Chains A and B, each alone.
Chain A
Amino acid sequence: MDLNLSPEEVRFRDELRAWLQANAPQDWSEWREKSIEESFPYLRAWQRKLHEGRWAAVSWPKEYGGRGATLTQQAIFWEEMARVEAPPMANSLGLGLIGPTIIAHGTEAQKKRFIPKILSAEEIWCQGFSEPNAGSDLASLQTEAKLDGDHYIVNGQKVWTSYGWVGNWCELVVRTDPNAPKHKGLSVLLIDMSSPGVEVRPLRQMTGESEFNEMFFRDVRVPVENLLGQVNDGWNVAVSTLMYERGSYGARLHPLFRRNISRLIELSRTFKKNGRPASQDPITRQKLAQCYAEVEIMRLNQLRAFSRITATGAPGPEGSIQKIFWSELNQRLQQVAQEMFGPYGQLLAEDSHAVDKGIWSYGYLRTRGNTIEAGTSEVQRSIIGHFVLGLPKSY
């Protein structure tokens, strides 16, 4: 138990800090208000720059363009990125989830073909997992791939695909053996989104934006060399992607949460509630302190999870407590903001009276998705019940 940064971690932080000081863009605050379509080339350019400094995928092994960063160094990375309010990277799914999955399960040829362009943001990746009838019960998915010579022929529909509209490639989970038990008949294909028969439609969500897409596949031909991992072993490949998703997002999100609670505390000192600053209202103080404490506990849980991952070598089902913790905390934090702002909380970006240009009204709506995306809170609790506590399977 030693929570001081080691000399090596300090070196890592200082090197990154110096690089960011010289290279982090100064004009992100102007771009962040534009639509994602408009700002996407900007985000792509930023990722390319990070990649040139070998900062795009610090967690990846050195031979694949990363730095072999430890989990603590990864946390430092996100902390420093947040500190300078750096923009996100364009290819976040490729870097965070799909790249690591390809490194873990891919052939040498696949790694050589895909990894460099994930890093440079030349090829943007999306993830084709959920279907209209396969959400929480992901393994029941029906999109099928039939072998035809040296190609798979893919037919089906995917939904809730982030980056679908801009994706060049997709990690697609398909059914290759309809007669096997549901977990045993799946495979993962890497699909070129420009293939004939691929159609992408925007899906408008309750915030009014379209972060996600629906994707339709009609007789799409995929060469067999684009099978990731073994045929009919796709569930294991997909689960390793989901583990990266649940295990690592906490480190990325913590600095953002920290910034949000700090901003709320700052606002509480001037925002008036019943004729005095909200920071002097006993109930508001209680709620802000509760959020502050929980944001800190989120960090501490993450650090303890890191130690376990370092000891066991892979993110485990304990990552599910992180997913539950951050997603539900984010909702509570937005609720506290709403209570503090009263009627001003509801005002949208375009209203001149909106607090912080509407980020809190947006956050209030957007965080409803947090307990649904990347595995609902209910699924996470079932994972803990079965895989961590050893209770009988409930589904």
Chain B
Amino acid sequence: MEFGLSESQRLLRDNARKFFATECPMAEVRRLMETETAFDAALWAKLAEQGYTGCIFSEDYGGVGLGKGELVLLMEEAGRALLPGPFFSTVALAGPVIDAVGSPEQKKKYLSPICAGEARSTVAIFEDAAAWDPTRFQVSAVNGKLSGEKRFVTDVAAADWIVVAASNGVFLVDPKASGVEIAPMSGMDLTRKLYTMRMNHTPAEKLGDVAGLAGALDIATAALAAEMAGGMQRTLEMTVEYAKTRKQFGKPIGSFQAVQHQCADMYLETESSRSAAYYAAWALEEKAPDATVAVSIAKMYTSDASRTVGNRGIQVQGGMGFTWENDVHLYYRRAKASETAFGDATFHRERIARLVIDVGAETARHA
């Protein structure tokens, strides 16, 4: 048993860190967040060149064929860099859904351009009444046409096609198809844009059944938890740096325990988030019996921790932490959007309860 990174995993992480620092520094993040879609074609081409857009997809489709353990490391670094644009939506969300529910022909058709860096995508999940629960979707296909409204869909304006989770299947929709109306939502996170998507007798291609959706959403959720851990890590680093240099009462404020202990808690929460996200990825990769619980544990913990780490980071940086020019609020905004995406801590606690309190009772009886 070994819970450290392998040599090749360490290499992947270090390379990703260098790549994002060079290709997407904070100045670039700030430039992109002011654009309409936060998507940059040149940056995307470089992501594809690194193999990042195809990292977990099969070599049959031009991917790199790595595992979820590698995906979370990459997402962690993307989160640390606050990478704007549709990377998460395409690679950690739409790709795994297509991979899980599509036919071999569809996978070839839709995953290959993702791997090659030629296409972007996203998944429309959230509905007003159903939230993140796939068993309650109301959008449905009648005679192959979709009607209804999805909300909080990420990066739609940068997507070449949109995967739509409906009550009777998972479908693929061309954003230019008839009846599709897309409108931006104004979310806190400026780096990952949100949209509403309305469909009215919109023609759609069926990818597969809803049954395959849960596993793919678990992959996206674990990847998001890792991305959140990366954001926490960066917030911690900025905060510690500030506490070392900012002086009050003639001393660095980091020498005061009230400040230092906030930083220690940030460290504890960041490390714990990382442990939970890595384990969720490993459990998914191994199809461990506790994989779903592990994903919920990771998202539950990171949902609360990414907020508290941000709270502490802003507090420690005082007036500076409250300014627009300080980057900490950009991470804080992302953390809030991520907190509720795919279910917040309360949602996942209930999911854990169903799996270990309710289902646990049955397993106990059978044992």
Contacts and interface: CB of A to CB of B under 8 A. Distances in A.
B353 A285 contact: yes
B324 interface: no
Given A1-B278, A288-B353, 20 more contacts: A5-B1, A279-B358, A286-B350, A289-B300, A293-B297, A296-B294, A297-B301, A300-B279, A301-B272, A304-B4, A304-B271, A304-B274, A310-B4, A318-B271, A378-B257, A382-B261, A385-B264, A389-B267, A391-B243, A392-B254
B295 to A, nearest CB: 11
Contact of A381 (B265, B294, B349): B265
A321 B9 CA distance: 25
A114 interface: no
Given A265-B356, A293-B297, A311 B261 contact: no
A318 B244 CA distance: 20
A296 B349 contact: no
B350 A388 contact: no
B296 to A, nearest CB: 8
B356 A289 contact: yes
Contacts of B361: 269, 279
B255 to A, nearest CB: 4
A266 B300 CA distance: 22
Chain B interface size, as a band, is: 35 or more
A321 B268 contact: yes
Interface of B: 1-6, 9, 69, 240, 243-244, 251-252, 254-257, 260-261, 263-265, 267-268, 271-272, 274-276, 278-279, 282, 286, 293-294, 296-297, 300-301, 346, 349-350, 352-353, 356-358, 360-361, 364
Contacts of A300: 3, 272, 275-276, 278-279
A279 B357 contact: yes
A300 B3 CA distance: 8
A293 B351 CA distance: 11
Interface in A61-81: 72
B356 to A, nearest CB: 6
A391 B357 CA distance: 43
A303 B264 CA distance: 20
B28 to A, nearest CB: 28
A22 B224 CA distance: 47
B255 A308 contact: no
B1 A392 contact: no
B5 A381 contact: no
A67 B43 CA distance: 54
A394 to B, nearest CB: 5
Counting chain B CB atoms within 10 Å of each CB, the highest count among A294, A378, A389, A394 belongs to A389
Contact-size category for A: 35 or more
A381 B3 contact: no
Given A307-B3, A392-B251, A290 B240 contact: no
A292 B1 contact: no
B1 A72 contact: yes
Contacts of B6: 1
A72 B263 CA distance: 30
A392 B257 CA distance: 10
Contacts of A296: 276, 293-294, 297
Given A301-B272, A304-B4, A391-B255, A286 B264 contact: no
A242 interface: no
15 contacts: A1-B2, A1-B3, A1-B278, A286-B350, A292-B356, A297-B275, A300-B3, A303-B275, A318-B271, A321-B267, A384-B263, A386-B260, A391-B244, A392-B244, A392-B252
Contacts, number: 159
A268 interface: yes
Contacts of B278: 1, 300, 304
A290 B351 CA distance: 11
Which one of A3, A265, A279 has the greatest number of beta carbons of chain B within 10 Å?
A3
A212 B358 CA distance: 42
A395 B255 CA distance: 8
A201 B261 CA distance: 36
Contacts of A380: 264
Nearest to A307: B4
A3 B1 contact: yes
A304 B276 CA distance: 10
Nearest to A76: B1
Nearest to B345: A290
A296 B361 CA distance: 19
Contacts of B251: 392
A285 B356 contact: no
Interface in A1-21: 1-6, 9
Contact of A394 (B257, B282, B296, B297): B257
Contact of B2 (A2, A288, A382, A392): A2
Given A285-B353, A390-B244, A391-B243, A384 B1 contact: no
A293 B301 contact: yes
A3 B3 contact: yes
A87 to B, nearest CB: 25
Contacts of A311: 4
A131 B361 CA distance: 49
B349 A286 contact: yes
A344 interface: no
Given A285-B353, A391-B243, A385 B2 contact: no
Contacts of B276: 293, 296-297, 300
A324 interface: yes
B243 A325 contact: no
Contacts of A286: 346, 349-350, 353
Contacts of B282: 1-3
Contact of A1 (B9, B243, B353): B9
Q: Which residue among B264, B278, B286 has the maximum number of chain A CB atoms within 10 Å of its CB?
A: B264
Contacts of A2: 1-2, 282
